[in-house]
Structure 1
Amino acid sequence: MSALRMAAVAAPFDRDLEGDFARIERIVAGARAAGVRLLALPEACLGGYLHSMDGGRHDGGPPALDPGGPEIRRLAAIAGDMVVCAGYCEAAGGLRYNSAVCVSGDGVLGRHRKVHQPLGEDGLFAAGDGFAAFDTPVGRLGMMICYDKAFPESARALALDGAQIVVCVSAWPGSRTDPAPDLAQDRWTRRFDLFDRARALENQVVWLSANQSGTFGSLRFVGSAKIVDPGGDVLAATGVSGGVATAELDVPRALETARRSMGHLRDRRPAAYAPPVAVAGP
């Protein structure tokens, strides 16, 4: 297989759906002109994230979209011959989910509902209940959303399900309690970057990390979109100011090289990982 050109985006999105789509169209057009075949957009890029971490009580949260509705079909039409992953608020069964969808011009390729909910997010969204990889024209993918990546089990579940590439879409803000004047030095920026590199290396997968940038309500997002190879090395990154991180990699060869001597999935000893009798509280 030839090398795959892929890109991860750090950009601002808000409640203006038409404006969001216009921004997505510009990003996709630029990526297509650069030969990108896989593009990761941020969490909540259709309708924006929360104004604050109070569970969406400030403004009711983003618009809830039908997972089979016109907005998702429009996103697929924009994607065309590319594979595009994007976050949105999903309406299903009378509930809202913080969701991600993977599309191409052929339609929906895969979906994910955010499982792990930070702070007050559960005041607006129901939680997803699992992680599953799926096949796409650019390889077998898995998706997760933001806080999901803080849990090693999330990425490991996708890797064990055969994911070659993991796309993590985020709306990850800087620290609220002890913000750094320089966002690049913020402790939450460091955590964001550390999780990206650790999860790629632990599972020896290609990792695309997209994130919101700029500010929305009381939140200041850390940007820092990046592409990480199976050895945990950052191939391309936007920094905190935002932009598009683009890299090219022969994914099967990169995975085979990383796993040849020390195969983290192959060398697992599941019988040794018995769950504890009890988990201590805070």
Structure 2
Amino acid sequence: MAKMKLALVQFQSVLGDVEASMARALPMIDEAAAAGANMVVFPELFTTGYHLDTVGPRMTELAEPIDGPTVRALQEAARKNHVYIVAPIALLHGLSGVPYNSAVFINSDGTVQGSFDKVHLWALERFYFRAGHEFPVFDTEFGKVGIMVCYDMGFPEAARTLALKGAELIVCPSAWCVQDADVWEINAPARALENTVFLGAVNRIGHEGDDLYMHGGSMVCGPRGGKIAQLGEEEGILYADLDFDEVRKNRVTSPYLRDRRADAYGEVCAY
């Protein structure tokens, strides 16, 4: 039985202060591990905050390479606690000095397996980040894990690509505003159901600036789309026990992936 205890950290960042945010995050990893978690997932841009009117002009300064101090500290936390960590940060890589809105995947032995760069950039993000172009899937002893970031979840092609590449759990770190709470409640269960995957959508909590309130509502959905667990509007850690065999069973009884008609979908790629 491939069972995992997933921990989604509904987190309030310290806007523009990476060190202060990390000082809050590291004890929450210890807390999750003490509760038996095997994987700990933080929200989008959890080290810098999201309010781009404030931190956007500083994003290149706040961003780090994958071997920078933030990832190194998280590697040590993963190794110490023997947990996988999904760490969404502003990441510098490649030839350009413009960062990506990324999520680093750290193995339970503290090694970095890779990273995902947000593909669908929202609003002001286009001014401060480069867009990603790939959907990697990461291996664990429990099953395969894919990552989307926030706005990516609104595009069925993103989750479908991950599922077709073998993902059985998709995590979606987000900074989702309260004005779109209704969309949040629809997107996560829909992406789980149509791809017969577990889906962990972890949102930020709190006010940033005068105009941004992120309402939390982090949730874990099962491979039939139903909610397994959900938080309200408070900082905290959401736990869910996932049996990856349920994905495999449901892909037999609800064979959406098997019964796809790719030969009939030409129009999807034509425009």
Asked if Structure 1 and Structure 2 have the same fold, meaning a TM-score greater than 0.5 normalized by the shorter chain, the answer is: yes
The 5 Å alignment of 1:159-238 reads 159-175=163-179, 188-217=180-209, 218-238=211-231
Residue 136 of structure 1 and its aligned partner are, at CA, apart by 2.2
Residue 23 of structure 1 and its aligned partner are, at CA, apart by 1.5
Secondary structure of the equivalent of 1:263? coil
User: What residue ranges of structure 1 are gaps of 5+ in the alignment?
Assistant: 176-187
- Paired residue for 1:130, among 134, 140, 143? 134
Deviates more, 1:102-111 or 1:73-82: 102-111
**Match of 2:252?**
260
**Match of 1:248?**
241
**Match of 2:6?**
6
User: What residue ranges of structure 2 are gaps of 5+ in the alignment?
Assistant: none
Secondary structure of the equivalent of 1:214? strand
**Match of 2:264?**
272
**Match of 1:56?**
56
Matched residues, percent identical? 35
The 5 Å alignment of 1:102-117 reads 102-104=105-107, 105-117=109-121
Structure 1 residues 260, 95: closer, same or farther in 2, change over 3 A?
same
**Match of 2:98?**
95
Residue 5 of structure 1 and its aligned partner are, at CA, apart by 1.0
Does the CA contact (< 8 Å) of 1:37 and 1:138 recur in 2?
Answer: no
Deviations for 1:158-193, whole angstroms, at most 9, x for unmatched residues? 000001111111111122xxxxxxxxxxxx111112
Does the CA contact (< 8 Å) of 2:48 and 2:55 recur in 1?
Answer: no
Taking the aligned partners of 1:174 and 1:43, their CA distance within structure 2 comes to 15
Deviations for 1:100-139, whole angstroms, at most 9, x for unmatched residues? 0111333112310011011121011110012121212332
Taking the aligned partners of 2:136 and 2:206, their CA distance within structure 1 comes to 31
Taking the aligned partners of 1:277 and 1:159, their CA distance within structure 2 comes to 18
Structure 1 residues 245, 274: closer, same or farther in 2, change over 3 A?
same
- Paired amino acid for 1:27: M
Structure 1 residues 120, 55: closer, same or farther in 2, change over 3 A?
farther
Does the CA contact (< 8 Å) of 1:9 and 1:244 recur in 2?
Answer: yes
Q: TM-score, normalised by structure 1?
A: 0.88
Taking the aligned partners of 2:225 and 2:6, their CA distance within structure 1 comes to 17
**Match of 1:239?**
232
Structure 1 residues 266, 277: closer, same or farther in 2, change over 3 A?
closer
Over aligned residue pairs, what C-alpha RMSD do you find?
Answer: 1.9
More helix by share: 2
Secondary structure of the equivalent of 2:99? strand
Taking the aligned partners of 1:140 and 1:33, their CA distance within structure 2 comes to 24
Secondary structure of the equivalent of 2:203? strand
Does the CA contact (< 8 Å) of 1:115 and 1:148 recur in 2?
Answer: yes
Instruction: Report how many residues are paired.
Output: 264
Q: TM-score, normalised by structure 2?
A: 0.91
Residue 267 of structure 1 and its aligned partner are, at CA, apart by 0.8
Secondary structure of the equivalent of 2:153? helix
Does the CA contact (< 8 Å) of 1:49 and 1:61 recur in 2?
Answer: no
- Paired amino acid for 1:45: F
Taking the aligned partners of 1:129 and 1:256, their CA distance within structure 2 comes to 28
Taking the aligned partners of 1:222 and 1:69, their CA distance within structure 2 comes to 30
Structure 1 residues 173, 274: closer, same or farther in 2, change over 3 A?
same
Structure 1 residues 189, 126: closer, same or farther in 2, change over 3 A?
same
Does the CA contact (< 8 Å) of 1:50 and 1:61 recur in 2?
Answer: no
Taking the aligned partners of 1:48 and 1:61, their CA distance within structure 2 comes to 14
Residue 49 of structure 1 and its aligned partner are, at CA, apart by 1.5
